[in-house]
Chain A
Amino acid sequence: MGIDSTTTDRRGKRAGRRHPLASVALILAGLVTTGGAYALFTSTATAETANTAIVHQQLVDEGKALFDANCASCHGFNAEGTAEGVSLHGVGAAAVDFQVGTGRMPMAAQGPQAEKKPVQFSDEQIEALAAYVASLAPGPEVPDESLFEGEADLANGGELFRINCAMCHNVAGSGGALTEGKWAPSLMGVEAKHIYEAMVTGPQNMPVFNDLNLSPEDKADIVAYLKFMEESPSVGGIGLGNLGPVSEGLFIWIFGLGAVVGVTVWIAARAH
């Protein structure tokens, strides 16, 4: 786990592994900042804006602390990049949210590509990290959840998916092989916002689909199509991994022909 930083209000609730005085310090810090801010600004509106700005700055600072402890060894102390890791200037909050939020970062080991694994940070910590990286240079934002809630055009999503995504991820989103030991992962069971972020940031070997290429609505349609595929039951029965003719062929040779040969042996068995 990362460095334990102190300040936001929300993080106070998860006090399990903190110093007993952490909550007190947190409340104190909160009171001082809000009180101080109130004292400084008489207008309520200005006070709120400044308040947000300060909270944001705290988030960034917290993110910076987490970053220094967990990411800087590869990405550098200013996220400028080293021989081991790329520069994170301009990758945006979306990239951090995707890479850290799916457990790909911090990377377990240098390999052909970062693997998905259990997520290492809490949502708040990821938010802080994302805020820090986003503060370095402008980049894609974490999408608003409301984008995935409206009416989506499934047919459009499906068509765009087949044209833009299926060559690596397979028409059924089951994933596929790339060169040099890399692969396009399965898209089943991936959170909507992570799919969206992957499209805008192009993680690992994936190309970037920017908003001119696929509009945010198009991307939301693709996400909706994938969610439809994931949630709707397989129409024709058990899908055999949705891998196409290979698993079908394997099935008929092992189970189909296996069953039939079993019956031939049974029929031809002589009753002694």
Chain B
Amino acid sequence: MTTTTTPAAASTTVTEKPVGKGMRFTNAAANYIDERTSISGLVKELGRKIFPDHWSFMLGEVAMYSFVVILLSGTFLTFFFDPSMSHVTYNGSYAPLKGIEMSAAMASTLDISFDIRGGLLMRQVHHWAALLFIASIGLHMLRVFFTGAFRKPREINWVIGFVLFILAMAEGFTGYSLPDDLLSGNGLRIIDGMLKGFPVVGTWISYLLFGGEFPGLVVIPRLFVLHIMLLPAILIAALGVHLLLMIINKHTQFAGPGRTNDNVVGVPVMPVFAAKAGGFFFVVFGILVLIASLFQINPVWNYGPYDPSPVSAGTQPDWYIGFADGALRLVPPGWEFVLWGWTFSLNILVPVAVLGLFIVMVAIYPFIEAWITGDKREHHIAERPRNAPTRTAIGAAGVTFYGVMWAAASSDLMATHFRLSIEGVIHTLQALLIVGPIVAYFITKRVCLALQKKDREIALHGYESGRIVRLPGGEYVEVHQPLSEYERWRLVSYEDYKPLMLRPNDKGKITVGMRLRASMSRWFFEDRVSPATKGELEQGGHH
């Protein structure tokens, strides 16, 4: 089924077949629409779009399908959810909350869970799908990062994808807060505390958001509007642009025989890819419904209605906000100080600044790397992570940094479940937050270089076959199995960068920026393993 986008493949031969009744109707209908919309050009263009086949290229699809599931289940929930903080007395069928005062939002969430047919399943589908949505976005971003698929011409799409990731987290957090239960109320209280930690404007922003002193009576309706209207609208628009740019830029592919920087090898959208993708949507949907029907999520009836006084043990945000919660937990005590009558809450400002910097670095990484390499070419071949050791090492350091903060959000559960003291867990994670990324960076870089060396070795001398042969002279040698051309292609075709030479510019000067760039380039490409050249390969073949 593999075809390429070369014009030759586009030529088709139409064989006349007797047309059935159904087909005649389809033809007439298609003709009717085409005469009024000229859509056939678009369909032809899109239908012939080629998508390369690799499992990791489908992670973004998973995110999109979970989003569709979220839209469907979310629409159902809006029919019954009452986003109001007015006080009601719960009188539904969950006995342990009967007669308890709560907000209408909480009461309607309980009604959805206990008194509306299919409501609990829909709530659970919605929540599980949200978790999968953001998890698959995260994995998709990691794939794009580690294969260098963000390089020119895809930097803008990386940024749009990043915006989608942030929007997804915002959607998640607003949705998590809507039921107005104890758990999510505590989450909002942390947001309130963080806002108030900002000098001068903090208190004002908090009062603006909550319409007065926390928790007030307006925050749930406001979050509801954001959650079901503004954020999804922006998300869908950004998703549209993201997909459009993907079509315009074409999909990246891994190096292979016949796969060059100028073509895309894969299957066309129509019919194979579309059928596979459509089926895959239902598989994702099915997995989500299966999980939702078997596993409980966010049991708000256990948490009870929000009340500012109680805070439960084991209060955590959903996983995607965990890294921020963890960052707050890792701040050592005593970081607030009072100066001229103002309290400076460095315990809040520092983690917010560090997280902000981290997130911005993620967003602009493609531009940083492009500046360092000085590479202005287009790249359509996805790199194997080992072939960009420094980038892969930076990625590993970033993942470790994120992972440590993420783990810190569950420090209390680690303490109870592994019989540790919570202080020990926190102190270990504090040390790991600094040491972990550095260690991860060096180990990853060395592993990448070692793998490259191994690849080079295999490309030149073939596989060790395990067959030992005794030569007439008595010498024992192991027979190396040469690679096929196909296998070798994969091993030797990758970009080989060298550190930039520091040369004076037109005016004969070397600027600070140029020095910086040269040193960054040295950092990136000083340690490298060049791919086996043609000459080397020919020589190697004679062994």
User: Which B residue sits closest to A239, measured CB to CB?
Assistant: B296
Say yes or no: B132 contacts A157, CB within 8 Å. Answer: no
Cβ A252 vs Cβ B131 within 8 A: yes
- Complex contact A257–B132 (CB within 8 A): yes
* Interface segment, one of A73-81, A175-183, A188-196, A198-206: A175-183
Asked whether any CB of chain A lies closer than 8 Å to the CB of B231, the reply is: no
Q: How far is the CB of A82 from chain B (nearest CB, A)?
A: 26
Chain B at the A interface: SS class: helix
Inter-chain contacts of A249 with B (CB < 8 A): 131, 318-320, 322
Contact residues on B (Cβ < 8 Å of other chain), bracket: 35 or more
Q: List the B side residues contacting A174 at CB < 8 Å.
A: 314
A183 B416 Cβ-Cβ under 8 A: yes
Q: Are B416 and A162 in contact (CB under 8 A)?
A: no
A256–B298 alpha-carbon span in the complex (Å): 16
Q: What string of 1s and 0s marks CB contacts (under 8 Å) between A109-129 and chain B? A: 000100000000000000000
Q: How large is the interface on A (under 10, 10 to 19, 20 to 34, 35 or more residues)?
A: 35 or more
Q: Are B58 and A267 touching (Cβ within 8 A)? A: yes
Write out, one digit per residue, whether chain B residues 406-420 have a CB within 8 A of any chain A CB (1) or not (0).
000111110110011
CB pair A252 B312 closer than 8 Å: no
| Contact across chains for A268 and B96 when beta carbons are under 8 A apart | no
> A41 in the interface, Cβ–Cβ < 8 Å?
no
Question: Contacts A159-B100, A236-B297, A260-B136: A246 and B312 contacting too (C-beta < 8 A)?
Answer: no
Distance in angstroms between the alpha carbons of A180 and B423 in the assembled complex: 6
Task: Give the distance to chain B from A226, nearest Cβ to Cβ, in Å.
Answer: 10
- The answer to whether B296 touches A238 (Cβ under 8 A) is yes
Assess the B287–A260 pair: CB atoms within 8 A.
Answer: yes
Is A228 a contact of B96 with CB atoms below 8 Å?
Answer: yes
A162: which of B276, B295, B304 is its contact (CB, 8 Å)? B304
Please tell me which one of the listed residues B128, B292, B303, B413 contacts residue A177 in the complex, with CB atoms under 8 A apart: B413
A267: B residues at CB distance < 8 A? 55, 58, 276, 279-280
A176-B313 in contact given A240-B295, A248-B319 (Cβ < 8 Å) = yes
Known A-B contacts A155-B98, A235-B296; the reply to A268 vs B283 at CB < 8 A is: no
Are B183 and A244 within 8 A (Cβ)?
yes
- Residue pair A270, B280 in contact (C-beta under 8 Å): no
- For the complex formed, measure the closest distance between the CB of A157 and the CB atoms of chain B, giving whole angstroms: 7
Task: Say whether B294 contacts A237, CB under 8 Å.
Answer: yes
**Which residue of B has the minimal Cβ distance to A260?**
B62
The answer to whether A184 touches B291 (Cβ under 8 A) is no
Which of A163, A225, A244, A260 is close to B309, meaning CB atoms less than 8 Å apart? Answer: A163
In the assembled complex, the CB of A186 is this many whole angstroms from the nearest CB of chain B, namely: 9
B99/A236 in contact, CB under 8 A: no
Q: Does A242 contact B (CB under 8 A)?
A: yes
Q: A170 at the A/B interface (Cβ < 8 Å)?
A: yes
Q: CA A163 – CA B304 in complex, angstroms?
A: 10
A183 x B322 contact (CB < 8 A): no
Q: How long is the Cα–Cα vector from A253 to B420 in the complex, in angstroms?
A: 24
Residue A101 CB within 8 A of the other chain:
no
Min CB gap A112→B, angstroms: 7
- List A contacts of B120 (CB < 8 A): 235-236
B130 nearest in chain A by CB position? A252
Q: Contact: B314 with A155, CB < 8 Å?
A: no
B410 touches A246 (CB 8 A): yes
Contact B135 A252 (CB under 8 A): yes
Known contacts A179-B422, A237-B294, A256 near B312 by CB under 8 Å: no
Q: Which chain B residue lies CB-closest to A228? A: B96
Residues 210-235 of A contacting B (Cβ, < 8 Å): 225, 228-229, 234-235
Give 6 A-B pairs besides A155-B98, A240-B295, A269-B55 with Cβ atoms closer than 8 angstroms. A158-B304, A176-B312, A236-B113, A248-B319, A252-B135, A256-B291
Name the 5 nearest CB pairs between A and B, nearest first.
Answer: A176-B313, A249-B319, A236-B296, A181-B421, A177-B412
Task: Mark B residues whose CB is within 8 Å of A.
Answer: 53-59, 62, 95-100, 113-114, 120, 124, 128, 131-132, 135-136, 139, 182-183, 276, 279-280, 283-284, 287-288, 291-299, 301-304, 307, 309-320, 322, 409-413, 415-416, 419-424
Q: What is A's interface to B at a CB cutoff of 8 Å?
A: 112, 154-155, 157-159, 162-163, 166-172, 174-181, 183-184, 225, 228-229, 234-240, 242-246, 248-253, 255-257, 259-261, 263-265, 267-270
